[in-house]
A and B are shown apart, each in its own frame.
Chain A
Amino acid sequence: MHELSIVMSIIDIAQQQAKSADAKTIDEIEIDIGCLSTVQMEAFDFAWEQAVKETILDNAIKKINRIKGKARCLDCDASFPLENIYDACPKCGQHLIDIVEGKELRVKSLIVS
């Protein structure tokens, strides 16, 4: 259940940002979560519901961007979508790959008022 730690970190970031923007409420929060990050979305949503209660994010709309995995083969230089970390390059079959996208886990933006 590291998802709870992740949600708590998001709340901390949101609180700091709202404070420095002199905002009273957060209407919306946009978060990037890569499909190859170690976040299980059901656990994340469950942790979110419990953790945001009585915080500045309590009534905020949560917008999640799931970023699909993308890799580049270090052997043949092909770029391809990556569903699992252990998938091979579809062009040459090698596992010498570099993950380019899909590991994201960041707070992208807030709408505050």
Chain B
Amino acid sequence: MCATCGCDTDGNVTMHEPGHHHDHNDHHSHDHQKKVVAVEKDVLNENNLLAERNRGYFEAKNILALNLVSSPGSGKTSLLERTLKDMKGELEFAVIEGDQQTTNDADRIHATGTKVVQINTGKGCHLDAHMVLHAVQGMKPKNDSVLFIENVGNLVCPAMFDLGEKERVVIISVTEGDDKPLKYPDMFYSSTLCIINKTDLLPYVPFDIEKVKANAKKVNHKLEIIELSCTNGEGLQIWYDWLKSKVLAPETV
């Protein structure tokens, strides 16, 4: 068999690509040659380009885009609900919700009176920059606003996909293991802020908060950490101050 195109001396042809036609009447006059193509291209190049496009859009409109990532059930949506209610009138918000199925989370956000778009990924385990691009085109977030992008609950896959966000916020709750940053290092490595949620439950669970902080810092020494509880409100002010500090002052002419 010819190693170049797979054609056989007895005339049987192995097709490599639809539309790839050889003239097999003459087996011994192959004029195509092997060629090395240096590619050197990041596999996620396409996503990264779209992410940069989103980032440029956000910067031009002075929108603070935050990518919220966590395992399912850490309290991402509850934190958003509480934040949207508490900071109403102080900052302008918009939300993109990512889930495999249902509009449950978007309904909860909608109930707070905030502009929201739900992305259902179907079987997809993460949001990508392309999905966010389309969501943003549809919702048209206002200038000088904060855009929360709540990713699919998953501590693995979303780590690889830049959405064009300014900051990536990983949320962990005290009902999870304090070794989670070591078990899922990529997410903690790629995040800029870590929120430890549900601190009101600390007396009831064997969760060592100092240990989780040390573990998170082992993975990413630059990671900022905020401890809070959406239920009793403890620590929320620190989170709100963090948000306000990140919203760039609108340019004055």
Report which A residues bind B (CB closer than 8 A).
1-2, 5-6, 9-10, 12-13, 17-18, 21, 23-27, 31, 38, 54-56, 58-59, 84-86, 88, 95-97, 105-113
In the complex, which residues of chain B have a beta carbon less than 8 angstroms from the beta carbon of A86? 181-182, 185, 215, 218-219
B140 at the interface (CB under 8 A from A): no
- How many chain B residues touch A (CB < 8 A): the figure is 44
**Is B40 touching A111 in the complex (CB atoms < 8 A)?**
no
**Is B44 touching A9 in the complex (CB atoms < 8 A)?**
yes
B33 at the interface (CB under 8 A from A): yes
Q: Give the complex CA separation of A86 and B42 in angstroms.
A: 24
Give B188-212 as 1s and 0s: 1 = Cβ < 8 Å from A's Cβ atoms: 0100000000000000000000000
**Is A111 touching B160 in the complex (CB atoms < 8 A)?**
no
**Is B160 touching A2 in the complex (CB atoms < 8 A)?**
yes
Residue B37 contacts which of A10, A21, A31 (CB distance < 8 angstroms)?
A21
CB B65 to nearest CB in A, in angstroms, measures: 21
Q: Give the complex CA separation of A49 and B31 in angstroms.
A: 30
The answer to whether A24 and B17 touch (CB under 8 A), given A2-B126, A86-B185, A107-B39, is: yes
Q: Give the complex CA separation of A108 and B4 in angstroms.
A: 21
**Is B17 touching A25 in the complex (CB atoms < 8 A)?**
yes
**Is A111 touching B39 in the complex (CB atoms < 8 A)?**
no
**Is B39 touching A108 in the complex (CB atoms < 8 A)?**
yes
In the complex, which residues of chain B have a beta carbon less than 8 angstroms from the beta carbon of A54? 18
Residue A59 contacts which of B14, B42, B47, B159 (CB distance < 8 angstroms)?
B14
Give B150-167 as 1s and 0s: 1 = Cβ < 8 Å from A's Cβ atoms: 000000110111000000
In chain B, residues 171-188, which have Cβ atoms closer than 8 Å to a Cβ of chain A? 181-182, 185-186
Q: Give the complex CA separation of A56 and B5 in angstroms.
A: 12
The answer to whether A106 and B37 touch (CB under 8 A), given A2-B160, A86-B185, is: no
The answer to whether A58 and B218 touch (CB under 8 A), given A2-B126, A17-B37, is: no
Q: Give the complex CA separation of A99 and B44 in angstroms.
A: 19
CB A77 to nearest CB in B, in angstroms, measures: 15
CB B42 to nearest CB in A, in angstroms, measures: 5
Residue B157 contacts which of A2, A10, A23 (CB distance < 8 angstroms)?
A2
Q: Give the complex CA separation of A60 and B32 in angstroms.
A: 17
With A5-B128, A109-B40 given, name 15 new contacts (CB 8 A): A2-B126, A9-B43, A24-B20, A27-B3, A59-B16, A85-B186, A86-B182, A86-B185, A95-B218, A106-B41, A107-B41, A108-B39, A109-B36, A113-B4, A113-B5
